[in-house]
Amino acid sequence: MIAVPVAANGEYPAGAPEPVLMELESQTFEVEAETAYQKLKRMLRESRREKYVRNITLAVARRDTEAAQKALDELVAEYPEVVRNEPNSIRYHQGGIHFWRKDFEEAYKEMDAVVSSLERKYPKGIPAGGKYSEINAMFMSDAYFARGAAAMQLSRFAQAAGDFKKAFSLAPKAYIPLNMCRALLRLGKRKEAAEAYDLAFSMNAPTAEKAEDRGYICGMLSKNEPLPKACVRTVAEGGK
C-alpha cells in the first residue's frame, strides 16, 4: 500500500517524500515451488492490485476524492483479503480521503484507529534491526502525522503537536517540524515554535521558505530573539 503525508494546513508539504511502501510484512511473496503459469498469474493479479493502489494515490494527489473512493472500493471488492491482512493500510487511505473531503472528524477517527492498532502491536516502539523495521517506522510516522493533521483542523493543537513530535522521532522529515511550528504557535508557545521552524529550515530550507503561511508564521515570530533564519528575509520585506 502507499502512504502520502499531507500537511496540517490542508496542503501537500513542500519537500515531502515520494510515496512509500508500508506494511510489507503482510503482503504475499513468491513461494519456493511455483510454476511459470502460477507465477505469471500471480504477477498479473498483483499488478492489478497495485494499479488500484496507484489510482488511489494519484486521485488523492489531485484531491479527487470521488475517484480515490471508487478505487479504494474496487480494491476491497476485488481483493477482500486486504481488509483482513492490511486493515491499517485500508484505514489510512480511507482517512486520507475523509481529510480531503474536509470531514476531519472521520479522518481523525480512521487515523486514530491506525495509531491505536500500531501502538498495541508495538507497545515498546518499532523494534530496531528487523527486516521491516524501517518501513514500519515510516508508516507509523505517517499515521501519527496524519492524525496530527486532522487534529489541527479540529483545533486540537496540543494533540497535533504531540503527534507531530512522535512522527518526527520515527522518521525525521522537514515538513514535520514545520507543521509542529504551526501547532505550537496556536498554543502560544512561540519559543518552541521558533525552534521548530528553525529545525525545518536547517533540514530543508525550501520547505520552510516556501510555506504558504510563512508571512503569518514569521509575523508571529518577529519578536523572537533570535529571529528564525527562515524569517529574516520575510520580516525585512514586511512579511511578504
In the chain, domain spans: 2-173, 176-240
| pLDDT for 130 | 72
Burial class (CB in 10 A: 0-12, 13-18, 19+), 155: exposed
State how far the Cα of 71 lies from the Cα of 20, in Å rounded to an integer.
18
Share of the chain above pLDDT 70, in %: 78
Q: Residue 194: in which H helix or E strand, if any?
A: helix 190-203
State how far the Cα of 10 lies from the Cα of 150, in Å rounded to an integer.
9
State how far the Cα of 103 lies from the Cα of 208, in Å rounded to an integer.
27
The arithmetic mean of pLDDT across residues 182-195, rounded, is 94
Task: Count CB-CB contacts under 10 A for residue 133.
Answer: 14
Q: What is the dihedral of CA 180, 214, 221, 186, to 10 degrees?
A: -40
In this structure, what are the phi and psi dihedrals at residue 3, rounded to the nearest 5 degrees? -125, 130
Tell me the CB-side half-sphere exposure of residue 52, using CA atoms within 13 A. 20
With H, G, I as helix, E, B as strand and everything else as coil, classify residue 227: coil
| pLDDT for 39 | 54
Q: Is there a contact between 24 and 3 (Cβ–Cβ < 8 Å)?
A: no
| pLDDT for 116 beyond 90 | yes
pLDDT in tens, 128-152: 777 778 888 899 999 999 999 999 9
Q: Which CATH architecture has domain 2-173?
A: Alpha Horseshoe (1.25)
Closest by CA to 9, choosing from 157, 133, 132, is 157
pLDDT in tens, 23-82: 222 333 333 344 555 555 555 566 778 888 888 888 988 899 999 999 999 999 998 988
Give the C-alpha distances (Å, rounded to integers) separating 15 from 3, 18, 221.
15, 9, 23
